[in-house]
Amino acid sequence: MTTIEQNLHLVRDRITTACRDAGRDPASVRLLAVSKTFGADAVVAAVLAGQRAFGENYVAEGVDKILALRAWCAAHPLDAGGALQWHCIGPIQSNKTRPVAEHFDWVQSVDRLKIAQRLSEQRPAHLPPLQICLQVNIDGGANKSGVA
């Protein structure tokens, strides 16, 4: 068993225990593995251990891994665990919206209308809609990000 496989097993066990303690179905929780700073080989090891959702906050690094894993998956079809899912996590600069719209499945922190509009306009028509999570500034704090 690889270190990545062992670590994923331990995390999944902790999730299962926490869910049972809370009276929640463990199957209702999905693990998002943040793969930033790890190479594509580490992501492949996680995929082989059953992980399917990955988060990246460095857009260029994420796109490189998405393309590498797309090529890897073409040569190694995935089992019933499903396709890989890529999440862009963290704030997005306006000049990074195109590669995010073209390659990621989810954006975890859309904090401005301008970013949402650019992502929508730049999403290729052949891809499913981009899933987004809006960051909301609920108290109106001037030093906080998020939409009102």
User: What are the pLDDT digits (tens) for 35-56?
Assistant: 999 999 999 999 999 999 999 9
pLDDT at 60: 96
Q: Give the per-residue pLDDT at 23.
A: 97
Total Cβ atoms within 10 A of residue 95: 9
State pLDDT tens for residues 56-114: 999 999 999 999 999 999 998 877 667 899 999 989 999 999 999 999 999 998 999 99
pTM of the complete model beyond 0.75? yes
Instruction: At 80, list the tokens.
Output: 């019933």
Is-contact 110 135, C-beta < 8 A? yes
85 token code pair: 């899912």
List the beta strands (DSSP E) in the chain. Answer: 33-34, 53-56, 85-88, 106-110, 131-134
Q: What is the mean pLDDT of residues 115-119?
A: 96
The pLDDT of residue 81 is: 66
At 80 the pLDDT is 62
**Quick one: CA torsion of 98, 99, 105, 108, rounded to 10 degrees?**
-80
